[in-house]
């Protein structure tokens, strides 16, 4: 009976092991769905829409191959942003055929849109730079390699992939899109292990059967040999030779050596079945851990309410995501450092405009005379303390960020107000202000929702943004006598204190000399930029010119610049004509709603000397 059970166990073991191995070999399904194509046209851009990328479940992998040495650029962004960046440029559109089994390409000519600026290069920008998608702030992720790019990504349906070389040459033609398939075999491991267990059981039963058979035989007598005939010689048996114990020198094997080979095989097979894909509940094949991914860009949860989806569709998207904003600020920080080190105004112009650019333009001139003068407002790269993008589908676009200095946390954070004028233009800093100590930023929308841009002449605020600079300047000049004095909070406003002290010092220094000083303010050239807060107020950036005119009162009197920076900008140590210096204040305000009882609060500011000249 033991032999029967042993044979049954061995047969069952063989069946189980073969089935387990077959699941990982002959019965193993494909590990991915793969669609490939060779683009037939020679347009400089190729776009893979979100409908193609999400046509199969799982993360996507986009493989692009160009000619030997050809630059291959792959990026993805919100579909509306990709289309806006392309503008009126023709491009290859990849789509699925009717049965969804092949990729097909066609040339698409976009329609002219009044909401999207023209894609032609502006004055001063080369077409090669303008047409190259690499480095654009519009992308959520990008990569660029020579000859080939394999990009594992994980994107929702409202995101598209753009492929190019350098924007002037034809886009790389060989494109493959693939999705992983779950070809795990959760019963392979249990089958193999069960087979090994039955194999071991069969061997044990076989050994027990042999042992039982030997014991059950008992002693057996041999039959007597026939007697020899008379007269024949009888051969006596030979005596047994003596063998001392332990005298054998050859190798000796114990009885347990019979199971060495089966157990070794079992160990190897068991170890080979340790992969998670061999077991129930094991990990499926998914590259998400290494894939560049982005969450769905629609911030509203459709399950929150029956009308959530329709409401979300009606709302414009925030212009950037948080990772996108971080990458933009890091790029600006690197460019700023390089431009400031080399005093390269052309490089600074790629990331600055308005009052922030004027500060650097004049600062570079002054530092050309003395590098220790005219310190510039720094632009740290991280960490971001606040990101408030405008929610809009058009241009220009506004973005507010507050960045701390990771190298010196004791420094006040810098507030940056940035603008993107068109889809192919990058974000540039218009205002860079240091926050006041202990200032509290009002509550604003999350980065996934964004804020509305407030018009410069808005009548729904305590004061229209385009009136702020003039009103605040009047307070600096007239103090409590100003009509606007009661509308602005005085507590925590250190700029008032600084300017008052400066003016008092200038007046005192001229008291016994043949010169007089005049002080006045006027709105700066920077356009007001405002984003709404949660309480219907707004965070507003404006610029203000603080002007000081020192005039001699006698023909032989001379005016000396007040400070080395003024002398360096004037280019003279003294003058007999009236000397007028202009300082630009970049101001960041919180303006409450019109019906609020709160006051307008100065959140931050920066000062820079921008002009020193002789006047009449």
Residues 79 and 44 in one domain: yes
Token pair in block for residue 603: 């959140």
**176 plus 189 within the same structural domain:** no
Domain span holding position 1: 1-28+185-205
Q: Give the chain's domain count.
A: 3
Domain boundary among 146, 180, 214: 180
Give the pLDDT confidence of 170-183 residue by residue, as tens digits: 999 999 999 988 77
Q: Find the mean pLDDT for residues 315-337.
A: 96
Rounded to an integer, what distance in angstroms lies between the CA atom of residue 546 and that of residue 569? 16
Residue 556 confidence (pLDDT): 82
pLDDT of residue 195: 85
Tell me if 241 is assigned to some domain.
no
Look at residue 303 in the predicted model and tell me its pLDDT. 34
Q: Do 24 and 37 share a structural domain?
A: no
> In whole angstroms, what is the distance from residue 298 CA to residue 303 CA?
13
- Model pLDDT for residues 360-394, shown as the tens digit of each residue: 999 999 999 999 998 898 899 999 999 999 999 99
What pLDDT score does 335 carry?
97
**Neighbour-count burial for 23-58, b at 16+ CB within 10 Å, e otherwise:** bbeeeeeeeeeebebebeeebbbbbbbbebbbbbeb
What is the Cα–Cα distance from 171 to 39, expressed in whole angstroms?
9
pLDDT for 428 = 98
Domain-located, residue 461:
yes
The span from the CA of 493 to the CA of 570, in Å, is 31
Give the pLDDT score at 274.
56
Q: Are residues 332 and 191 in the same domain?
A: no
Residue range 546-555: mean pLDDT, rounded: 92
pLDDT in tens, 391-412: 999 999 999 999 999 988 888 9
Q: Which of 534, 539, 396, 397 is nearest to 468 (CA)?
A: 539
Lowest-confidence range among 147-151, 195-199, 408-412, 589-593?
Answer: 147-151
Query: For 208-222, 277-291, 318-332, which range has the lowest pLDDT when averaged over its residues?
Result: 277-291
User: Do both 48 and 190 map to the same domain?
Assistant: no
Q: pTM here?
A: 0.81
Verify that 355 and 492 share a domain, yes or no.
yes
The confidence band for 4, taking pLDDT boundaries of 50, 70 and 90, is confident
Per the domain annotation, does 368 fall within a domain?
yes
Q: Identify the CA nearest to 549 among candidates 474, 476, 498, 611.
A: 611
pLDDT at residue 271, as a whole number: 47
- Per residue in 403-458, pLDDT (tens digit) is 999 988 888 999 999 999 999 999 999 999 999 998 999 999 999 999 999 999 99
- In this structure, the answer to whether residues 474 and 583 fall within a common structural domain is yes
Residue 102 pLDDT exceeds 60: yes
Domain boundary among 163, 180, 197: 180
The verdict on residue 346 lying in a domain is yes
Q: Are residues 486 and 526 in the same domain?
A: yes
Task: List CB contacts of 235: < 8 A, sequence separation 6 or more.
Answer: none
At residue 299 the predicted structure's pLDDT band, cuts being 50, 70 and 90, is very low
Asked if residue 469 lies in contact with residue 543, where contact means CB atoms within 8 angstroms, the answer is: yes
Q: In terms of domains, do 193 and 175 share one?
A: no
Residue 191 inside a domain? The answer is yes
The arithmetic mean of pLDDT across residues 274-301, rounded, is 53
**195 and 69 within one domain:** no
Helices 188-217 and 260-272: crossing angle, nearest 10°? 170
Residue 182 has a pLDDT of 75
Last residue of a domain, one of 128, 145, 180: 180
Q: What is the mean pLDDT of the chain?
A: 85
List, in order, residues 6 or more apart from 8 with CB less than 8 Å away: 202
CB 44 within 8 A of CB 167: yes
Whether the pLDDT of residue 258 is over 90: the answer is no
Q: Is the confidence at residue 27, as pLDDT, over 60?
A: yes
Do 164 and 67 lie in one domain? The reply is yes
Query: 603 and 522 in one domain?
Result: yes
Residue 265 lies in a domain: no
- Is a pLDDT exceeding 90 seen at residue 283? no
> So what's the pLDDT on residue 539?
99
Give residue-wise pLDDT tens across range 140-171. 999 999 888 888 888 999 999 999 999 999 99
Give 494: exposed, middle or buried? Use CB within 10 Å, 0-12, 13-18, 19+: exposed
Query: Which pLDDT score is estimated for 223?
Result: 55
**pLDDT at residue 287 is higher than 50:** no
Domain assignment of residue 266, yes or no: no
User: How many residues does the structure list for the chain?
Assistant: 616
Query: Is it the case that residue 465 has pLDDT exceeding 70?
Result: yes
Q: How do residues 479-503 score in pLDDT, each as one tens digit?
A: 999 999 999 999 999 999 999 999 9
Distance from C-alpha of 272 to C-alpha of 274, rounded to nearest angstrom? 6
Rounded to the nearest angstrom, the gap between the alpha carbon of residue 248 and the centroid of all alpha carbons in its chain is 77
d(CA 260, CA 264): 6
443 located within any domain: yes
């Amino acid at each position: 009976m033991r032999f029967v059970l042993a044979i049954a166990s061995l047969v069952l073991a063989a069946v189980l092991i073969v089935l387990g191995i077959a699941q990982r070999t002959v019965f193993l399904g494909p590990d991915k769905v793969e669609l490939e194509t060779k683009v037939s046209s020679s347009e400089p851009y190729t776009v893979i829409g979100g409908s193609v990328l999400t046509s199969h479940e799982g993360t996507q992998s986009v493989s692009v191959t160009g000619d030997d040495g050809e630059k291959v650029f792959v990026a993805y962004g919100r579909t509306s942003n990709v289309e806006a960046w392309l503008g009126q440029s023709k491009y290859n559109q990849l789509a699925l055929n009717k049965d969804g089994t092949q990729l097909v390409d066609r040339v698409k000519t976009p329609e002219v849109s009044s909401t999207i600026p023209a894609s032609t290069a502006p004055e001063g920008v080369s077409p090669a730079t303008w047409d190259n998608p690499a480095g654009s702030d519009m992308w959520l992720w990008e990569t660029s390699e020579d000859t080939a790019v394999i990009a594992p990504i994980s994107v929702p349906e409202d995101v598209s992939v753009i492929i190019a070389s350098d924007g002037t040459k034809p886009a790389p033609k060989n494109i493959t899109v693939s999705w992983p398939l779950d070809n795990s075999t959760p019963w392979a491991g249990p089958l193999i292990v069960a087979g090994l267990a039955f194999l071991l059981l069969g061997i044990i039963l076989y050994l027990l059967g042999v042992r039982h058979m030997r014991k059950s035989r008992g002693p057996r007598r041999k039959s007597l040999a026939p007697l020899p005939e008379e007269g024949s010689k009888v051969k006596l048996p030979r005596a047994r030779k003596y063998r001392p114990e332990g005298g054998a020198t050859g190798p000796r094997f114990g009885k347990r050596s019979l199971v060495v080979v089966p157990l070794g095989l079992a160990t190897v097979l068991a170890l080979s079945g340790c992969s998670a894909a061999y077991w129930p509940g094991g990990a499926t094949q998914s590259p998400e851990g290494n894939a560049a991914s982005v969450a769905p860009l629609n911030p509203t949860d459709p399950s929150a309410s029956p009308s959530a989806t329709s409401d979300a569709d009606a709302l414009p998207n925030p212009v950037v995501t948080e990772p996108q904003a971080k990458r933009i600020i890091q790029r600006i920080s690197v460019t700023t450092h390089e431009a400031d080190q080399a005093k390269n105004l052309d490089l600074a112009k790629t990331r600055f405009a308005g009052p922030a650019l004027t500060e650097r333009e004049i600062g570079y001139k002054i530092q050309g005379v003395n590098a220790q003068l005219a310190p510039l407002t720094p632009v740290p790269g991280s960490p971001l303390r606040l990101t408030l993008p405008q929610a809009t589908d058009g241009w220009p676009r506004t973005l507010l960020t507050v960045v701390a200095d990771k190298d010196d946390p004791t420094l006040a954070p810098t507030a940056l107000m940035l603008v993107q004028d068109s889809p192919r233009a990058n974000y540039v800093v218009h205002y860079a202000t240091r926050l006041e100590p202990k200032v509290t930023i009002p509550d604003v929308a999350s980065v996934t929702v964004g804020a509305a841009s407030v018009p410069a002449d808005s009548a729904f605020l305590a004061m229209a943004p385009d009136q702020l600079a003039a009103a605040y300047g009047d307070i600096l000049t007239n103090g409590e006598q100003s009509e606007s004095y009661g509308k602005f909070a005085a507590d925590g406003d250190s700029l008032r204190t600084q300017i008052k002290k400066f003016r008092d010092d200038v007046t005192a220094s001229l008291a016994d000399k043949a010169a007089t000083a005049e002080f006045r303010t006027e709105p700066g050239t920077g356009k007001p930029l405002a984003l709404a807060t949660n309480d219907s107020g707004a965070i507003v950036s404006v610029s203000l010119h603080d002007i000081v005119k020192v005039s001699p009162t006698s023909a032989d009197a001379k005016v000396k610049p007040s400070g080395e920076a003024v002398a360096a900008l004037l280019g003279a140590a003294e003058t007999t004509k009236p000397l007028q210096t202009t300082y630009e204040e970049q101001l960041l305000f919180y303006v409450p709603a019109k019906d609020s009882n709160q006051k307008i609060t100065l959140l931050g500011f920066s000062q820079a000397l921008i002009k020193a000249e002789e006047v009449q």
